[in-house]
């Protein structure tokens, strides 16, 4: 099977409608790129989580449609232009053949084992572990956040390695793929619990735990809140939350209440400029300090007092 890309450059106002029209006309998929990418006119297009741009297009957009190699590409373009009210001669397009590839092997080649801290390796299933005696996590890239490549994940893994929770109870709140919970488990924690709002993340984390022979209980927040009857502790010796600063601030009373007296709280997903406001949100419960910084992200850590201060 061969494929061909149909490339059309249009103004922002036409990008979305043309994309839809190309799909209706027989394209297999469509993407929109910045036609000025790599030039001084390139326009960054991004937003904070939850505040993504309403229109995923640029002033000068490049619409790229994938079609079967033996399709009538001229007919696809003509039908799409007609559906958008454009004259066939008003828009130029190019055809780009897509070379045959072993797509599975090509995708896998982009994910090599990741070395974290002193002795941790995150290894995709199609690779052998570089050091069989290290702490090995077999983890394939997937839909849930957390393969060890992001600075915040690395910071949390390094903290756990530096403060091994041997014989302790650990809560990973916002667990994503479950990678931090698995590190805690492999560092001989007595009991590990993971919580995430995304059912798909919970499903992924459970599969990852099974693949890594880790005994970890995973819950949605509502399940976790009512799980006291399942023998789960209400407080933990170590609580880890690698999320983002806004939810971390909102959850300060809840997360702090989950830490045993004398226990540790580790937070990440925080930018350097957000340290003070996050620390201030937790100040009524415990004192947080900067543990480490990487690529503009930080990890904050603190210990809950054994007894209330006088």
218-248 pLDDT, tens digit per residue, is: 999 988 987 666 678 889 999 999 999 999 9
3-state DSSP assignment of residue 271: strand
Those residues with Cβ within 8 angstroms of residue 310's Cβ, 6 or more apart along the chain or in another chain: none
Query: Per the structure block, which two tokens stand in for 14?
Result: 């036409």
- Select from 2.60.120.560, 3.30.70.120, 2.40.128.50, 1.10.357.10 the CATH code of 3-100: 3.30.70.120
**Cα–Cα distances in angstroms (integers) from residue 234 to residues 24, 201, 258, in the given order:** 54, 22, 6
Q: Domain spanning 146-303: which CATH class is it, in words?
A: alpha beta
Which tops the pLDDT comparison, 50 or 195? Answer: 195
Start and end residues for every CATH 3.40.50.150 domain found in the chain: 146-303
Task: List beta partners, residue 292.
Answer: 299
Q: What is the pLDDT of residue 136?
A: 93
**Cβ count near 127 (within 10 Å):** 14
Q: In this predicted model, what pLDDT tens digit does every residue of 105-120 receive, in sequence order?
A: 555 555 778 899 999 9
3-state DSSP assignment of residue 169: strand
pTM, two decimals, is 0.66
Q: What is the pLDDT of residue 158?
A: 97
Start and end residues for every CATH 3.30.70.120 domain found in the chain: 3-100
Inform me whether the pLDDT recorded for 217 exceeds 80.
Answer: yes
Contact 291, 301 (CB under 8 A): yes
Q: What is the pLDDT of residue 58?
A: 82
């Amino acid at each position: 099977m061969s494929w061909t890309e149909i490339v059309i450059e249009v103004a922002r106002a036409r990008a979305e409608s043309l994309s839809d029209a190309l799909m209706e006309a027989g394209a297999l998929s469509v993407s929109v790129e910045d036609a000025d990418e790599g030039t001084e006119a390139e326009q960054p297009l991004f937003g904070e989580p939850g505040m993504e741009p309403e229109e995923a297009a640029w002033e000068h957009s490049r619409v790229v449609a994938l079609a079967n190699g033996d399709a009538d590409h001229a007919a696809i373009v003509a039908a799409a232009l007609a559906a958008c009210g454009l004259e066939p001669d008003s828009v130029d397009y190019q055809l780009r053949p897509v070379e045959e590839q072993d797509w599975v092997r090509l995708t896998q080649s982009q994910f090599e084992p990741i070395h974290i801290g002193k002795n941790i390796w995150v290894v995709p299933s199609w690779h052998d572990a570089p050091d069989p005696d290290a702490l090995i996590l077999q983890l394939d890239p997937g839909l849930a956040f957390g393969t060890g490549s992001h600075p915040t994940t690395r910071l949390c893994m390094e903290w756990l390695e530096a403060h091994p929770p041997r014989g302790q109870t650990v809560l990973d709140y916002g667990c994503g793929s479950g990678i931090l919970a698995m590190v805690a488990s492999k560092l001989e924690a007595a009991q590990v619990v993971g919580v995430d709002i995304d059912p798909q993340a919970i499903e992924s984390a459970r599969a990852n735990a099974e693949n890594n022979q880790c005994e970890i209980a995973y819950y949605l927040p509502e399940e976790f809140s009512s799980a006291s009857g399942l023998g789960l502790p209400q407080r933990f010796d170590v609580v880890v939350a690698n999320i983002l600063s806004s939810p971390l601030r909102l959850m300060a009373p809840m997360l702090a209440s989950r830490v045993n007296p004398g226990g540790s709280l580790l937070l990440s997903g925080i930018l350097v400029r957000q340290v003070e406001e996050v620390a201030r949100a937790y100040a009524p419960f415990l004192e947080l300090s900067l543990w480490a910084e990487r690529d503009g992200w930080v990890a904050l850590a603190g210990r809950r007092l054994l007894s209330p201060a006088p």
